[in-house]
Amino acid sequence: MQPFALKEWATVIAAMLAGDQVVMLRKGGIGEKRFDVPHREFLLLPTHVHQRPELLAPEVAERWPDLLAVTEEPSQVDIGAWCEIADVHEVREQAELDALAPFHLLGPDYAASRLRWRPAHPLLVIVPRVHRITPPLPLHVSPEMRGCRSWVEVDLTMPDADPVLHDARFAEVRAEVAAALTGARPESPHGAPALG
C-alpha cells in the first residue's frame, strides 16, 4: 500500500524526535474544510513555510536555528520519522488547550489561534508513537506535495524504525495527556478520545 505523509513543521518533527513534543495539534490546511486522521500509520514530511520563531516556544529557536533559517520549501527533504496513532482527542475549550502546554512546543498564542480558527470544528490532539528512521529517507518534493494541504502520498516504503519513547514511557505519556484533558474538561465533556 502506498504510504502517506503528514506535513508538519521541521522544528516540530525535530522536537518529536527528541521526545520533547508528544502531541500534535491540528485543524488542517487553508484549502481543507476540516482535518481528519484517515491513516493509522504515516510518515512525517518536514515543511518550513509558515514556521517562525515567534510561533514556537523560545527553546525551539535556541535548539534548532538551522531549521528555522529555512524559509522556502526545498526540492528534496529527508524523512526521519514515521508515526502510528495511539489516541486522538477533541479539544474545544481554552482550559483544555492550556492543560496540554507541557506536551508540545507551540507558543501559547499560536496554539490558541489554532483552537479559535474555524470554531465550529474541534482542535484535534493527536498522540502519536513516533519512530526514528535511521538513516533518513530522501524524498523529492513534487509540485503536488506543495501548498496548504495536510496529507500527501509519497513514493517510499515504510521502513522499520525504533520508537523514540520506550513502551513504559509512552504508556505514561498517553495516560498523562488523557488525565490532563480530563482534569480540564467541564462535567459534560464535549469530546473523548476518538481513536484508541
The verdict on residue 98 lying in a domain is yes
Q: What is the pLDDT of residues 80-104, one digit of tens each?
A: 999 999 999 999 999 999 999 999 9
Q: Residue 86 domain-assigned?
A: yes
72: phi then psi, degrees, rounded to nearest 5: -120, 155
**Per-residue confidence band for 16, with pLDDT thresholds at 50, 70 and 90:** very high
Residue 189 located in a structural domain: no
Q: Is residue 193 part of a domain?
A: no
> Is 195 part of a structural domain of the chain?
no
- Mean pLDDT score, 129-157: 88
Angstrom CA distances, 40 to 55, 106, 180, stand at 28, 24, 23
CATH of the domain at 49: 2.30.130.30
116: buried, middle or exposed (CB in 10 Å: 19+, 13-18, 0-12)? exposed
Residue 136 maps to a domain: yes
Average pLDDT of the chain to the nearest whole number: 88
Please say if the pLDDT value at position 152 is more than 50: yes
Task: Tell me the whole-structure pTM to 2 decimals.
Answer: 0.88
- Domain extent for 47: 4-184
